[in-house]
Amino acid sequence: MSSEILAVSTGLHALVYFVPVIFLSIVGFIILAIGTRNPDKTILSWITFFTLAAGGVLTYLFTPLGTSIFGGTLVFNSFGLYFALIMIISSMFICYPALKGLTAKSEIFYATLLFVTVGMILAAFSYNLITLFISFEAVSIGTYVLASFGKSRRNLEGTVKYFFTGTIATAFVLLGSSFFYLDTGTFNLSILAASKATPEISMALIFLIVGFGFKLAVFPMHQWAIDTYDGTENSVSAFLSAGSKVLAYVVILKVFLLGFSSDFRDVYYLFVILSVLTMTYGNISALSQNNLKRLLAYSSVAQAGYLILVLAVVSSTGNITSGVAGLAIASGMFYSLVYIFMKGGSFIALNSVNHESVELADVSGLARKSPALAVSFAILLLALAGIPLTGGFFAKYLLFLSLIEGGLWWLAVIAILNSAISVFYYFRVIMYMFGRDPVDGQEFDLTGSVKVPVYASASITVVLSLMILWFPAVINIASGLFG
Partner 1 sequence: MLLIFLLTVIFSALSFAINGKRRIFAIVSSAIVLILTIAYSLFRFHGTYASGFQSAASYNLVPSIGITFSLGVSGFSDALLLLSAIVILISLLITEKNKFGNSLYSYILIAETGLYGILISRDFLFFYIFWEVVLIPVYFIIAQYGGKNKDSVSLKFFVYTHIGSVFLLLSIFTVYTFHYEATKIFTFEMSQLMVNRYISQIPVFWRYLAFFGFLLAFLVKMPSFPVHSWLPDTYDASPYPGTVILAGGLSLMGGYGLFGILMPVYSSLGSGILTILIYLGIISLLYFSLAAMMQQSLKRMMAYASAGAMGFVTLSFGAGLIETGYQATLELAGGMFQIVAHGLIMALVFASIYLIRQNTGHEAVHSLGGIFREAPMLSSFLLAGLLASLGLPGLAGFIGEFSILVGVFGAIGWLIIAVVFSMIITASYHIWAAQRSLYGPYNENLGQIHDVTGYQFAVLMGTLIVIFVLGIAPNLIYGMLVSYVGGII
Residue from 43, 420, 439, 452 binding partner 1 (CB under 8 A): 420
Which backbone phi and psi does 353 adopt, to 5 degrees? -90, 135
Given phi > 0 = left and psi -120 to 50 = alpha, else beta, which region is 441? left
> Comparing C-alpha atoms, which of 273, 279, 305 is closest to residue 418?
279
**With contacts defined by CB under 8 A, how many residues of the chain interact with partner 1?**
31
Q: Which is nearer to partner 1, 100 or 428 (CB)?
A: 428
CA distance 126 to 189: 9
Residue from 269, 388, 447, 463 binding partner 1 (CB under 8 A): 388
Q: Which is nearer to partner 1, 124 or 327 (CB)?
A: 327
Using CB under 8 A as the binding rule, whether residue 393 contacts partner 1 is answered as yes
CA atoms within 13 A on the CB side of 134: 11
- Give me the least distance between CB of 182 and partner 1, in Å please: 41
- Give me the least distance between CB of 401 and partner 1, in Å please: 5
Cβ proximity of 396 and 461 under 8 Å = no
Q: Which is nearer to partner 1, 122 or 398 (CB)?
A: 398
**Site residues for partner 1, window 292-331 (CB under 8 A)?**
327
472 preceded by a cis bond (ω within 30 of 0):
no
CA distance 301 to 248: 13
Q: 126 has which bridge partners?
A: 74
Which segments of 323-370 does DSSP mark as H helices, in order?
323-349, 366-369
Using CB under 8 A as the binding rule, whether residue 471 contacts partner 1 is answered as yes
**C-alpha distances in angstroms, 193 versus 124, 142, 182, 300, 312?**
19, 31, 12, 33, 20
Residue from 7, 15, 417, 439 binding partner 1 (CB under 8 A): 417
Residues with Cβ < 8 Å from 420, sequence gap 6 or more? none
Q: Which is nearer to partner 1, 199 or 388 (CB)?
A: 388
Q: Which is nearer to partner 1, 7 or 439 (CB)?
A: 439
CA atoms within 13 A on the CB side of 49: 14
Which backbone phi and psi does 347 adopt, to 5 degrees? -65, -40
- Give me the least distance between CB of 391 and partner 1, in Å please: 13
**C-alpha distances in angstroms, 375 versus 110, 365, 402, 432?**
30, 12, 31, 12
> Comparing C-alpha atoms, which of 297, 268, 275 is closest to residue 285?
297
User: ∠360-362-368 over CA atoms, to 5°?
Assistant: 110
Q: Which is nearer to partner 1, 29 or 424 (CB)?
A: 424
**Stretch of 26-34, 103-111, 202-210, 415-423 lying at the interface with partner 1 (CB under 8 A):** 415-423
Residue from 157, 200, 266, 405 binding partner 1 (CB under 8 A): 405
Using CB under 8 A as the binding rule, whether residue 266 contacts partner 1 is answered as no
Using CB under 8 A as the binding rule, whether residue 284 contacts partner 1 is answered as no
Residue from 401, 438, 442, 479 binding partner 1 (CB under 8 A): 401
| Beta strand spans in 254-377 (E) | none
Using CB under 8 A as the binding rule, whether residue 430 contacts partner 1 is answered as yes
Cβ neighbours of 267 (radius 10 Å): 24
> Comparing C-alpha atoms, which of 150, 454, 111, 475 is closest to residue 328?
475
Interaction pattern, residues 326-365, with partner 1; x per rule: CB under 8 A: -x--------------------------------------
CA distance 260 to 258: 6
- Give me the least distance between CB of 438 and partner 1, in Å please: 15
- Give me the least distance between CB of 389 and partner 1, in Å please: 6
Interaction pattern, residues 90-129, with partner 1; x per rule: CB under 8 A: ----------------------------------------
Using CB under 8 A as the binding rule, whether residue 191 contacts partner 1 is answered as no
Using CB under 8 A as the binding rule, whether residue 33 contacts partner 1 is answered as no
Residue from 5, 387, 446, 456 binding partner 1 (CB under 8 A): 387
Q: Which is nearer to partner 1, 55 or 326 (CB)?
A: 326
Residue from 18, 46, 62, 397 binding partner 1 (CB under 8 A): 397
Cβ proximity of 320 and 313 under 8 Å = no
Q: What burial class does residue 355 get, using C-beta atoms within 10 Å of its C-beta: 0-12 exposed, 13-18 middle, 19+ buried?
A: exposed
Residue from 15, 26, 57, 413 binding partner 1 (CB under 8 A): 413
User: ∠100-354-166 over CA atoms, to 5°?
Assistant: 65
Q: Which is nearer to partner 1, 266 or 405 (CB)?
A: 405
Using CB under 8 A as the binding rule, whether residue 469 contacts partner 1 is answered as yes
Using CB under 8 A as the criterion, which residues of the chain lie in contact with partner 1 when the complex forms? 327, 382, 387-389, 393, 397, 400-401, 404-405, 409, 412-413, 416-417, 419-420, 423-424, 427-428, 430-431, 434-435, 468-469, 471-472, 475
